[in-house]
Amino acid sequence: MFLSSGYPGATMDAVAAGARISKQTLYRRYASKDLLYAAVVRDWVDKGHDVMRPHVRALLDAEDVAEGLYRLARVMQAGILSAPVRQMRTLVATEAERFPEVAADYLDRSWRRNQELLADALRELMVRGVLRIGDADVAAEQLTWLAVAAPLNRLTLGAEAEEERELEGVAAEAVGTFLGRFGGGG
């Protein structure tokens, strides 16, 4: 309900009707719309918990680091550029001033957790001598934004979704740029 109607448009009546429960039952569980909103965002983040973990593991297991990074970049694109993720990001950003604690929790438990996972993998690749990285946290963020920033910006501003081949090209260039800066360790 919050994703489709936004915070202002999601009424407790509509949420109760959509959940096929009484309004009383809803209020027993969530004393206010504010608490319901916070719970919905937290639940949404929890459902996505550890989605990236197997893909980061695949990067570490890849024989060719460039191919592993490319596959990971495509996974990040698929997730971050997906309509549900963009809708949730928009909802949380729109309501961040009213609910700064929800936005902070979303940032910590979704974005930062995944970035830390990627940074840990990059550190491992550095230890193996595959990458030369001074700050793995910065490198993880740079790889992510190289792969998703331009398409995300276009989608956020109402452009049509890019064709898969265009996203593949963005991912390939992201990896090339990343490896140009951090590759060839030893």
The predicted-structure confidence for 149-168, as pLDDT tens digits, reads as follows: 999 999 989 888 889 999 99
For residue range 54-92, list pLDDT tens digits in order: 999 999 999 999 999 999 999 999 999 999 999 999 999
**pLDDT at residue 185, rounded to an integer:** 53
Structure-block tokens of residue 70: 């490319």
**Number of other CB atoms surrounding residue 69 within 10 Å:** 27
Pick the residue with more confidence: 48 or 140?
140
**pLDDT at residue 90, rounded to an integer:** 93
Could you tell me what percentage of the chain is helix, strand and coil, using 3-state DSSP and rounding each to the nearest 5?
75, 0, 20
Taking a C-beta distance cutoff of 8 angstroms, is the pair 17, 5 a contact?
A: no
Structure-block tokens of residue 185: 């360790």
Average pLDDT, the chain: 93
* % the chain with pLDDT above 90: 81
CA angle 115–120–122, rounded 5-degree value = 95
Does the pLDDT value for residue 93 go beyond 70?
yes
**pLDDT at residue 186, rounded to an integer:** 46
Instruction: Tell whether domain 39-182 is in CATH 3.30.450.20.
Output: no
Tell me the C-alpha distance between 33 and 44, whole Å: 16
Does the pLDDT value for residue 29 go beyond 80?
yes
Does the pLDDT value for residue 105 go beyond 50?
yes
Does the pLDDT value for residue 32 go beyond 50?
yes
**pLDDT at residue 22, rounded to an integer:** 92
**pLDDT at residue 162, rounded to an integer:** 84
